[in-house]
Amino acid sequence: MALKKEYVCENCGAKYPKWIGMCHNCGVWNSINEVNVDTSKNPVNRGVTSGLSKIDLKNISEIDNNLHQIRYKTGIEEFDRVAGGGLVKGSVVLIGGEPGIGKSTLLLQISSNLSNVANCLYFSGEESVAQIKLRYERIKHNNSDFKIASSNSLDSIIESIKEEILKSKDTIVVIDSIQTLTNLSNDSFAGSITQIKTSTQVLIDFAKTNNVTVIIVGHVTKDGNIAGPKLLEHMVDAVFYLEGEKINNYRLLRAIKNRYGSSDEIGVFEMRADGLAEMSNPSELFINRRKVDIPGVVTFASIEGSRAMMLEIQSLLVDTNFPAPRRSVVGIDLNRLYVILAVLESICKVSFQRKDVYVSVVGGIKISDPAVDFAVAASLLSVFRRQPIKSSYVIFGELGLTGEIRNVTQANIRIREAAKLGFNSAVTSKKLEGEFDNLTTFWNIRDFYQEFFG
């Protein structure tokens, strides 16, 4: 075995012939580490054709995909919704999130439920089996039985899985977490980019070859990426993020990538003493039905995947003497706020130049739906004029640069959800006029401003 020393950046994976203080590729200091590379495994060094076999090509009509149509129902409807109906046999799923957000707890609940229909193996590189048992007893809901082990060696884990496959073809493996694994074929330390990438590729190859379902846990770094750069997201079949603030009990499971389902679904959970509990009607969690209307508070009808949710938008304006007023947002894109403020100043002739602007989505939800434009604009106008908008209204619509209120997708789903929760009227684009009852519609934000705040 011929070994060669290389210097690899643990942040971006860039290689260098010698050690340097800062990576020229990503600009991170002290991220270069020495690793030993087995050059004998490189086909270039032994001849391209040496020891290689040709690829077996098949006609697409002859391929049997019945195995990938098998889905394991986890018994947690919010998770199954995000996964597209359940875990696909032979798939590799990556679940990311900040440490302590509830990933291990969720996977213990999933393993507990799935152990009734499959052979579930839970490998932890962070906790001992005694620690896992303590958490399991706290969240246990049924008399399920699955196998656990504590190990950091990927090679040993693979050998253990091979033995279990002989006992049951329906095998589901949980790896918690990918940052703790080491592979003997790679000399770098656990948690490095090369080690993570190599270990993940080994797991993917094994899962596809043996039709084993693998769930991998990946911790999120300070910049919000799974295990450093997002290289793992391109390798696996599905990527789910578990989001939420540790100071509140609500958690969102969001699909970022899903080869077997929709990539924009979310699941809503509440962290409790006995684990993560499903929230089947999340709209009731994020809106506060007040008896007194308050300026700057608007209810927004959002679409997250196939689900409609009622969310509360709050705005605050504070006088300032600084030449550059502050703009702060929670839950929406800051650039979107800049555009909305520009449109309101240009079309409605209101000035925010001497005011700090704060906009927040209650509950910590992050919104990418363009229909939030109208709700944010209405909230800002309400607090600017110090006149409340009735709490019985829901508002949604995209705001154009000319002040036009544009139609948005799935308006009927939004309105039905609002009506189910007791809202009397919806304020949206004029293009929907005549299609639904109890609609207040406008062509332009100027018309809305004159009508509501005259």
Summarised one tens digit per residue, pLDDT across range 84-110 is 999 999 999 999 988 888 999 999 999
Position 46 scores a pLDDT of 43
What does the pLDDT look like over 149-163, one tens digit per residue? Answer: 999 999 999 999 999
Asked which of 93-107, 207-221, 273-287 is least confident by mean pLDDT, the reply is 273-287
> Is the CB of residue 295 less than 8 Å from the CB of residue 331?
no
Could you give the dihedral angle defined by the CA atoms of residues 391, 417, 410 and 252, in that order, rounded to the nearest 10 degrees?
90
pLDDT band at 31 (very low <50, low <70, confident <90, very high): confident
* pLDDT at residue 58 tops 80: yes
Q: Which of 173, 145, 158 lies closest to 72 in space, CA to CA?
A: 173
Using alpha carbons, select from 222, 224, 246, 244 the residue that is nearest to residue 233: 224
Residue 20 scores a pLDDT above 50: yes
Structural tokens at position 71: 């889905």
Tell me if the bond preceding 111 is cis, omega within 30° of 0: no
Name the maximum alpha-carbon separation found in the chain: 82
C-alpha of 334 from chain center: 19
CA distances from residue 109 to 6, 79, 113, 137 in whole angstroms, order as listed: 42, 11, 6, 11
Q: pTM to 2 decimals?
A: 0.78
pLDDT of res. 250: 85
Residues 381 and 374 sit within 8 Å (Cβ to Cβ): no
pLDDT at 225: 57
For the chain, the average pLDDT equals 86
- Residues paired with 241 in a beta bridge: 96, 254
pLDDT tens digit sequence for 389-441: 998 899 999 999 999 999 998 888 898 888 888 888 899 988 776 556 678 88
Paired with 360 in beta bridges are 314, 330
